[in-house]
Amino acid sequence: MKKKIVITSICIVCIAALFTVHKVLSFEADKAVKIIDKGKLLSDVYTDKARYNPKDSVNITIELDNKLNSNYSGKLNVYYKNLNKLIGTKEMKVEIKKGEKKSINIAWNPPANDFKGYMVEVYAFKGINVIDSRNTAVDVSSNWDRFPRYGYVAEYPKREKDETEKIIDNLNKYHINGLQFYDWQNKHHKPIPDTKDNTYSVWKDIANRDVYYDTVKNYIDAAHSKNMKAANYNLIYGAYTDYKQDGVKPEWGIYKDSEHNEQDMHQLPSGWASSID
């Protein structure tokens, strides 16, 4: 009888061990149903551009900030997916002390197909326990307007280049690929002011706010570096009330009557540079 009990116990232990081995060998972090410490290890995951041309390499930054109550020694799994189809994976070992921050940069070469989107899922795990997860996305498109994601800029004060780059970096994390520049002009019908030496440093926008040339240019350059389309916002059939002195003809306007005596206009606050005719 005792022999049977011993044999039975050994069988149970072996089955349990085999089950554990199977779980470890078949473990897939992206199938985990529970994240143990969400937001306490992976602080951000983002790409270096809002859009990629086919055959471009994608640079991905994984930021870690260990807010766990202990040092972390485990692995990161990166899954590249198109819809529900797994395209590729990457695994790496990570060690980070309690309270420490660090960044990991990896490169990925997506398939060369045009107009495709991909999910990048990052999981931090130990054994068969997923500690934390983050994700980002990749747009591989030769033209931004196939999958437009629109944003805008509307203020251009005196600002250092690194400040404008930080703002564009933040927009890039939202995958904004079309950026419109609102009210950057000196006048909507005459965007750049006249100067004696054709140099431009600062002018007033329609709300009488300072617009700095270097700020506008730095925004455009930073946007282009992220493969964002930089677009000019302007009025259709709209001009300042002094438009005639700049060579704009009254017959180009919109009128409320067939005799062209009452020109359509939009009244703006008294402190602004002009109303809109």
What is the CATH number for 153? 3.30.750
- Do 139 and 198 belong together in one domain? no
| Closest of 29, 110, 39 to residue 76, by C-alpha | 29
Tens of pLDDT, residues 55-65:
999 999 999 99
* Sequential DSSP letters for the chain: -HHHHHHHHHHHHHHHHHHHHHHHHT--GGG-S--TTTTSSEEEEEES-S-B-TTPPEEEEEEEE--SSS-EEEEEEEEEEETTEEEEEEEEEEEE-TT-EEEEEEEE-----SSEEEEEEEEEEETTEEEEEEEEEEEE-SSGGGS--EEEE----S--HHHHHHHHHHHHHTT--EEEETT-SSSSSS-S---TTS---EEE-TTS-EEEHHHHHHHHHHHHHTTPEEEE---SS--BTTGGGGT--GGGS-BSSTTS-SB--B---TTSS--B-
Mean pLDDT over each residue of the chain, to the nearest integer: 89
Report yes or no on 160 lying in a domain: yes
Please report which confidence band the pLDDT of residue 16 belongs to, taking 50, 70 and 90 as the band edges.
very low
pTM of the model: 0.84
- Do 52 and 135 belong together in one domain? yes
Q: Which segment, 28-32, 36-40, 87-91, is predicted with the most confidence on average?
A: 87-91
> Could you tell me if residue 223 is left (phi over 0), alpha (psi between -120 and 50 degrees) or otherwise beta?
alpha
Residue 261 to residue 238: CA distance in whole angstroms: 17
Q: Is 221 a residue whose pLDDT tops 90? A: yes
Residue 10 to residue 276: CA distance in whole angstroms: 89
Residue 29 confidence (pLDDT): 65
- Do 72 and 173 belong together in one domain? no
- Do 64 and 111 belong together in one domain? yes
Report yes or no on 59 lying in a domain: yes
Q: What CATH number has the domain bearing residue 111?
A: 2.60.40.10
Report yes or no on 7 lying in a domain: no
Report yes or no on 48 lying in a domain: yes
- Do 123 and 193 belong together in one domain? no
- Do 137 and 155 belong together in one domain? no
Please report which confidence band the pLDDT of residue 26 belongs to, taking 50, 70 and 90 as the band edges.
very low
Q: Is 173 a residue whose pLDDT tops 50? A: yes
Owning domain of residue 92: 27-143
**For range 126-139, the mean pLDDT:** 94
Residue 35 confidence (pLDDT): 79
- Do 35 and 132 belong together in one domain? yes
**For range 139-158, the mean pLDDT:** 96
- Do 136 and 179 belong together in one domain? no
- Greatest C-alpha distance within the chain: 113
Name the least confident of 29-43, 78-92, 231-245, 249-263: 29-43
Report yes or no on 186 lying in a domain: yes
Q: Which of 94, 122, 143 is the last residue of a domain?
A: 143
- Do 193 and 102 belong together in one domain? no
- Do 108 and 183 belong together in one domain? no
Report yes or no on 180 lying in a domain: yes
- The pLDDT > 70 percentage for the chain reads 88
Q: Regarding predicted confidence, which is higher, 201 or 5? A: 201
Q: Which segment, 114-118, 198-202, 235-239, is predicted with the most confidence on average?
A: 114-118
Q: Which of 143, 163, 190 is the last residue of a domain?
A: 143
Report yes or no on 34 lying in a domain: yes
**For range 229-239, the mean pLDDT:** 89
The residues, ordered by sequence, that sit 6+ positions from 109 with a Cβ below 8 Å of its Cβ are 55, 57, 58
- Do 156 and 223 belong together in one domain? yes
Number of domains in the chain: 2
Q: Which of 117, 143, 169 is the last residue of a domain?
A: 143
**For range 256-267, the mean pLDDT:** 91
Report yes or no on 35 lying in a domain: yes
Please report which confidence band the pLDDT of residue 11 belongs to, taking 50, 70 and 90 as the band edges.
very low
- Do 139 and 152 belong together in one domain? no
